[in-house]
Structure 1
C-alpha cells in the first residue's frame, strides 16, 4: 500500500479525532458497549480542541495517509509519566484503520515515532492482535498491570517494554 507519513498540524485535529474514534470502534467494539461509543461521538468537539491544544503545545503526533489522502493511521510517543517507568520513552498511542492492517503502516509509524530506542506502552489484555504486533517489535510484558479508567469500563491492561532494538 502506498502511504505517506508526516507530523500532525493543528489543521489535522478534526480528521484525527474522527479516525481515532473509528479505529476504537473497529478495535474495541467487541469489548465496550454502544454507550461508550455514543459518549465518544458526543465528545468529538472537545477531542478536536484537545488535539489542537496538544499539537500547538508541541506534543507531536505522527499521521499516516493513504494514496487518496485519507487519514489511515496515527500515533504518539514521548516522555512517559509512569512513576516506575522502565525507560524514558512511552508509545502513547498507535492506531490504524482495520482496512489497512498488515500493510506496513503501523510499522512505519512505530519506526518514525520511536525508531530503535527503548520504549514502553500499555495494551489491553484482550487485544491479541496489538500484542502480537508489539512482540514483533521487541516488546515483552514486564508484569505491571492496571485497570483502565472507569470511563473505559475498567478494562484490564498490562505494560510491555523493549530494551531497544539490538540491545
Structure 2
C-alpha cells in the first residue's frame, strides 16, 4: 500500500515535525558530525512550533501519510515537501523547492518523485542542497536540476550548499 499524499494542515504539525527531524537524522548521517546532528535534531517542541506557525501562516506543505494506520505520531508522516515563492534576493526563477524528505524506509520506493510531481511538477524551480549530499544531488539531476554556480555556507549544520535550478 502506498502512502497517501495530501496538503498538510495545522493539525499535522506534530507528525510533520517528527518526520522532519527523523529525516534529517537519516539523510544527514555521515554528512553532519554525529554530535552536531543529535543536537540539531533533539528539540521536537521547537520544530513542532515552526511547523504549526508555518502552516498557520499559509506556507504550502504536502505530506505523505504512512499507510500503517497504527503508526505512532513519530511515524505517521513518511515524507513531506515544502514549496513557495523564491526567498533569495537573486532568485533565478520565482518558485522555490524549500524542502523534500522521505523517511529512510521509503527511499527508492518512488515516494520522493510522487511528492515532487504533486508539489512542483514540470515548472521551473530552484533549491539549495548540501554540496556533498550525493543521494540528493542524484535525485535532483533526475528531475532536470543543475548547479547555477551559487554557493553558500549553512550555519545550522556547518556545511556548504549549492543552488540548483531547473528552467
Structure 1 stretches lacking a partner, 5+ long? none
Equivalent residue number for residue 28 of structure 2: 28
How do 1:66-105 and structure 2 match up within 5 A? 66-69=66-69, 70-105=76-111
TM-score under structure 2 normalisation? 0.91
Equivalent residue number for residue 165 of structure 2: 161
SS at structure 2 position matched to 1:61: strand
TM-score under structure 1 normalisation? 0.91
SS at structure 1 position matched to 2:60: coil
How do 1:121-132 and structure 2 match up within 5 A? 121-132=127-138
Q: How many pairs does the alignment contain?
A: 161
Cα offset, 1:41, TM superposition: 4.1
Equivalent residue number for residue 5 of structure 2: 5
CA RMSD of aligned residues (A): 1.3
How do 1:124-163 and structure 2 match up within 5 A? 124-149=130-155, 151-153=156-158, 155-163=159-167
CA distance, structure 1, for counterparts of residue 31 and residue 134 of structure 2 = 13
Between 21-30 and 35-44, the greater mean CA deviation after superposition = 35-44
